[in-house]
């Protein structure tokens, strides 16, 4: 299924033979490893993402042990961590910083960007817009393998003698530029930068593909206003990524120059390790501007796909159209635009010009409006619904709850006057873990539970799903809610221990609670892992459309081959949210059902469209073929 396969849209009628043909011809390597099928690539992203999520979670539990139980003897971790456990059985303070750094990097980039966007953009875009595959299957394959390479490099850095990068996931120079400042800024940082460069390549290859596919390969009738909100979300995400990741690449490149070639982009006036460095005239603030020019859009790169997935899942399981479809698109568009002009709210107290601070405060608080609109729309979608609590639905509800709880604290942090006190305290940690970390993670989980039947043709066990949800939902709140109090009390983040300070000597009880909750939350993820892998092989065989959903992916065969549909790609006649339409026989009408077949439920203006449907019926295939 090399390049020939991509061109199957040229003549859809021959697809049947082609499918047969393909199953016999391709070998293991081409079907599962270097595969160009978007569905396989999505699964590759998912499995790699799960691996990273587990690792990132374990790292966080190790440093939570230190924070919750500072007296604990960690001798028993010696077989794994070796020299990073000191002779007294304590975690090395530098390794603590490395853990925090790698936890952040892994979770933000490898799990919630590649694992979430990579999985669901790849899986759902062709299936939901009605395309045989991505615009370029080859680039898509490259995208995964660059990610894989990046993963290997990042993973390797964990095992260096000097440890992985340790200057925080934001890698602010000069700390990240000077190996004499911290051990992790040696080879660990070099590998971090190499891994991120590869990661950015992967993300760009993916993003360009997503955008192209959505614009060009929509099936007949799939106008932009008939696209499911998932696709809209992936579309905006990809655009944000394509525009902002290159800036991170530039930032990283300049940092590489400063580190290895003696330039002074970020360095100036430094005396360290007994000598004054020759670097002169650079500005560490420049790096922060460049970093957050990606870093803030990155928040939405992580969040928007999760919001898209949950919009779809909440509508399906409430059996209602999503409330305010156009307002949802509008708010995502608005968020996407604003996300580029709020970055300096991460920098209110860096010594940046205070006037800039006022501008960014204004812009930042404006972004709360479209976010609020989204929450209200979710709640209204639930109103007078007929809600089925599938695990996917529950995780989506969890997402909305986290988005609300975590979003509201953003109003404090976006206010520069209030941010003076809260900046870099646990209040910030609580805020972004809820609104970005947990909300996106829940979106990803919701997506896995919801689309598992399409991915593997089998159902996941829903009882295990419920247990997984409740333990995780309660666990996440127990981990991050108490951090608000700790933050209001002024506890700074990235502290190995607070006992040096009288001011920060309290809250041993809350810190212990947080750590215990973190351990429980991580442990309950193994229920998911068991459920996931067990169900791939032994789960109940899925019905064709298990959730009675309207979107196109459920019209494919149970195990869609490369090319997705046997025969012609279905045409689309209506928007994706015809749930519980008055007069309809069932409580859902899939997108590929023409209005002419549903006269009983058509709205007046929809009856007008019937004529158009008829006139389009034949010509379009020719047009479709002719296009390529």
Q: Could you give the CA distance from residue 90 to residue 67 in angstroms, rounded to a whole number?
A: 11
Q: Could you give the CA distance from residue 153 to residue 216 in angstroms, rounded to a whole number?
A: 35
Q: How far is the CB of 571 from another protein (least distance, A)?
A: 22
Q: How far is the CB of 297 from another protein (least distance, A)?
A: 21
CA 168, 169, 175, 180 dihedral sign is: positive
Q: How far is the CB of 128 from another protein (least distance, A)?
A: 19
Nearer residue to another protein within complex by CB, 603 or 612: 603
Nearer residue to another protein within complex by CB, 45 or 395: 395
Nearer residue to another protein within complex by CB, 21 or 493: 493
Q: Could you give the CA distance from residue 599 to residue 606 in angstroms, rounded to a whole number?
A: 9
Nearer residue to another protein within complex by CB, 373 or 448: 373
Q: Could you give the CA distance from residue 192 to residue 489 in angstroms, rounded to a whole number?
A: 34
Q: What single DSSP character describes residue 437?
A: I
The answer to whether the peptide bond before residue 174 is cis (omega within 30 degrees of 0) is yes
Residue whose structure tokens are 């593997």: 456
Q: Where are the alpha helices (DSSP H) in 261-319?
A: 284-318
Q: How far is the CB of 360 from another protein (least distance, A)?
A: 11
How far CA 404 is from CA of 52, 400, 410, 575, in Å, comes to 27, 6, 10, 28
Helix (H, G, I), strand (E, B) or coil at 104: helix
Angle between helices 604-616 and 619-627 (to 10 degrees): 70
Residue 492 backbone dihedrals phi, psi, to 5 degrees = -75, 150
Q: How far is the CB of 268 from another protein (least distance, A)?
A: 3
Q: How far is the CB of 190 from another protein (least distance, A)?
A: 18
Nearer residue to another protein within complex by CB, 30 or 493: 493
Q: Are 160 and 177 in contact (CB under 8 A)?
A: no
Helix (H, G, I), strand (E, B) or coil at 210: helix
Q: How far is the CB of 198 from another protein (least distance, A)?
A: 25
Nearer residue to another protein within complex by CB, 147 or 507: 507
Q: How far is the CB of 463 from another protein (least distance, A)?
A: 7
List, in order, residues 6 or more apart from 235 with CB less than 8 Å away: 210, 211, 214, 227
Residue whose structure tokens are 């970020």: 266
DSSP codes joined into one string, 562-624? TTSSSSSPPP--S-TT-BS-TT-SSSB--TTS-GGG-TTT--HHHHHHHHHHHHHTTHHHHHH
Q: Could you give the CA distance from residue 448 to residue 294 in angstroms, rounded to a whole number?
A: 27
Q: Are 489 and 506 in contact (CB under 8 A)?
A: yes
Q: Are 316 and 454 in contact (CB under 8 A)?
A: no
Q: What single DSSP character describes residue 551?
A: S
Please return the burial class of 581, using the count of CB atoms within 10 Å of its CB with bins 0-12, 13-18 and 19+. buried
Nearer residue to another protein within complex by CB, 304 or 476: 476
List, in order, residues 6 or more apart from 273 with CB less than 8 Å away: 180
Nearer residue to another protein within complex by CB, 428 or 444: 428
Helix (H, G, I), strand (E, B) or coil at 447: helix
List, in order, residues 6 or more apart from 425 with CB less than 8 Å away: 486, 487, 488, 490, 491, 492, 493
Nearer residue to another protein within complex by CB, 246 or 546: 546
Q: How far is the CB of 145 from another protein (least distance, A)?
A: 33
Q: How far is the CB of 339 from another protein (least distance, A)?
A: 17
Nearer residue to another protein within complex by CB, 301 or 460: 460
Q: How far is the CB of 67 from another protein (least distance, A)?
A: 11
How far CA 185 is from CA of 243, 317, 580, 582, in Å, comes to 28, 48, 58, 63
Residues in a beta bridge with 276: 271
Q: How far is the CB of 195 from another protein (least distance, A)?
A: 20
The token pair that represents 290 in the structure block: 């460049």
Nearer residue to another protein within complex by CB, 135 or 361: 361
Q: How far is the CB of 90 from another protein (least distance, A)?
A: 13
Which of 187, 199, 195, 277 is CA-nearest to residue 241? 199
List, in order, residues 6 or more apart from 209 with CB less than 8 Å away: 134, 135, 136, 139, 140, 143
Q: How far is the CB of 517 from another protein (least distance, A)?
A: 13
Nearer residue to another protein within complex by CB, 109 or 426: 426
The token pair that represents 563 in the structure block: 């090319």
Q: How far is the CB of 499 from another protein (least distance, A)?
A: 9
Q: Could you give the CA distance from residue 316 to residue 554 in angstroms, rounded to a whole number?
A: 13
Angle between helices 391-413 and 368-382 (to 10 degrees): 150
Nearer residue to another protein within complex by CB, 85 or 394: 394
Nearer residue to another protein within complex by CB, 385 or 457: 385
Nearer residue to another protein within complex by CB, 238 or 589: 589
Residues in a beta bridge with 492: 425
Q: How far is the CB of 86 from another protein (least distance, A)?
A: 12
Nearer residue to another protein within complex by CB, 222 or 399: 399
């Amino acid at each position: 299924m090399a390049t020939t396969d991509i061109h199957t849209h040229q003549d859809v009628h021959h697809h049947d033979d082609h499918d047969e043909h393909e199953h016999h011809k391709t070998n293991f390597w081409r079907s599962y490893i270097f595969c160009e099928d978007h569905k396989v690539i999505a699964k590759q992203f998912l499995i790699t993402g799960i691996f990273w999520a587990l690792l990132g979670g374990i790292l966080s539990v190790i440093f939570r042990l230190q924070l919750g139980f500072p007296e604990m003897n960690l001798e028993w971790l010696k077989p794994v961590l070796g020299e990073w456990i000191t002779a007294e059985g304590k975690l090395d303070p530098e390794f603590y910083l490395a853990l925090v750094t790698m936890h952040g990097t892994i979770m933000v980039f490898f799990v919630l960007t590649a694992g979430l966007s990579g999985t669901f953009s790849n899986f759902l875009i062709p299936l939901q817009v009605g395309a045989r595959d991505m615009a370029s299957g080859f680039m898509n394959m490259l995208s995964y393998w660059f990610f894989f390479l990046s993963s290997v490099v990042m993973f390797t850095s964990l095992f260096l003698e000097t440890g992985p990068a340790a200057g925080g996931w934001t890698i602010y120079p000069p700390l990240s530029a000077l190996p004499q400042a911290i051990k992790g800024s040696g080879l660990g940082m070099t590998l971090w930068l190499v891994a991120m460069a590869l990661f950015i390549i992967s993300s760009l290859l993916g993003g360009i593909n997503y955008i192209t596919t959505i614009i060009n390969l929509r099936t007949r009738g799939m106008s932009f206003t008939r696209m499911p909100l998932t696709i809209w979300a992936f579309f905006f995400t990809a655009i944000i990524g394509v525009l902002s990741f290159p800036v991170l690449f530039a930032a990283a490149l300049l940092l590489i120059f400063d580190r290895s070639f003696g330039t002074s982009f970020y360095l100036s006036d430094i005396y360290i390790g007994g000598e004054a460095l020759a670097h002169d005239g650079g500005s560490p603030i420049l790096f922060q501007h460049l970093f957050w020019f990606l870093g803030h859009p990155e928040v939405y790169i992580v969040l928007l796909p999760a919001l898209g997935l949950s919009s779809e899942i909440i509508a399906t399981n409430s059996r209602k159209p999503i409330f305010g479809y156009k307002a949802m698109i509008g708010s995502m568009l608005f968020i996407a635009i604003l996300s580029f002009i709020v970055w300096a709210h991460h920098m209110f107290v860096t010594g940046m010009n205070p006037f800039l601070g006022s501008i960014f405060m204004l812009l930042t608080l404006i972004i709360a409006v479209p976010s609020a609109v989204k929450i209200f729309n979710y709640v209204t979608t639930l109103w007078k619904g007929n809600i089925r609590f599938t695990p996917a639905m529950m995780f989506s509800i969890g997402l909305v709850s986290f988005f609300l709880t975590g979003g509201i604290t953003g109003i404090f942090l976006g206010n520069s006057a209030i941010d003076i006190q809260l900046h870099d305290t646990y209040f910030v940690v609580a805020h972004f873990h809820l609104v970005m970390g947990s909300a996106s993670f829940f979106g990803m989980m919701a997506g896995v539970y919801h689309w598992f039947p399409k991915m593997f043709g089998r159902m996941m066990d829903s009882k295990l799903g419920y247990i997984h949800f409740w333990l995780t939902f309660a666990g996440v709140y127990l981990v991050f809610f108490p951090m608000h109090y700790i933050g209001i009390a002024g506890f700074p983040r990235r502290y190995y221990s607070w006992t040096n300070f009288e001011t920060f000597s309290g809250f041993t009880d809350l810190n212990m609670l947080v750590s215990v909750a973190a351990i429980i939350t991580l442990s309950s993820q193994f229920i998911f892992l068991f459920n996931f892998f067990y169900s791939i092989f032994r789960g109940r065989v899925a019905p064709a459309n298990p959730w009675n959903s309207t979107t196109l992916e459920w019209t494919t065969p149970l195990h869609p081959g490369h090319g997705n549909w046997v025969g012609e790609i279905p045409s689309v006649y209506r928007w994706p949210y015809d749930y519980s339409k008055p007069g309809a026989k069932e409580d859902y009408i899939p997108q590929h059902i023409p209005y002419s077949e549903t006269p009983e439920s058509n709205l007046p203006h929809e009856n007008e469209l019937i004529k158009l449907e008829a006139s389009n019926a034949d010509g379009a295939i020719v047009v479709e073929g002719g296009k390529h």
